């Protein structure tokens, strides 16, 4: 499986990263703390959260992040937070 993302899914990955970052900040966690709890590197998390980057990641990572944020994985996919300019 390659890391090529269709244009249809590009915005979804960006929105998911923004959601993860927003929830992390609402929980008062640093990237390092969330990454440790999700069993991924801080640089991996930083790539996921970067608002101008599309960084595909596995369902296992999504589940780990959801558990670390104490939310259901599906909730991460359905939440939205306003971005700048909205």
The class of domain 9-78 in CATH terms is mainly alpha
Q: From its phi and psi, is residue 39 left (phi > 0), alpha (psi between -120 and 50) or beta?
A: left
Give the residue with greater pLDDT, 71 vs 9. 71
CA atoms within 13 A on the CB side of 9: 10
Q: What's residue 1's pLDDT?
A: 39
**pLDDT, tens digit, for every residue of 66-83?**
999 999 999 999 987 665
Has residue 2 got a pLDDT over 50?
no
Has residue 3 got a pLDDT over 70?
no
Has residue 56 got a pLDDT over 90?
no
Domain borders along the chain are 9-78
């Amino acid at each position: 499986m390659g890391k090529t993302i269709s244009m249809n899914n590009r915005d979804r990955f960006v929105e998911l990263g923004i959601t993860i970052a927003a929830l992390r900040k609402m929980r008062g966690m640093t990237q390092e703390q969330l990454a440790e709890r999700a069993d991924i590197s801080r640089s991996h998390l930083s790539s996921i959260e970067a608002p101008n980057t599309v960084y595909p990641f596995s369902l296992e990572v999504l589940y780990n992040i959801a558990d670390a944020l104490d939310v259901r994985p599906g909730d991460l996919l359905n939440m939205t937070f306003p971005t700048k300019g909205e």
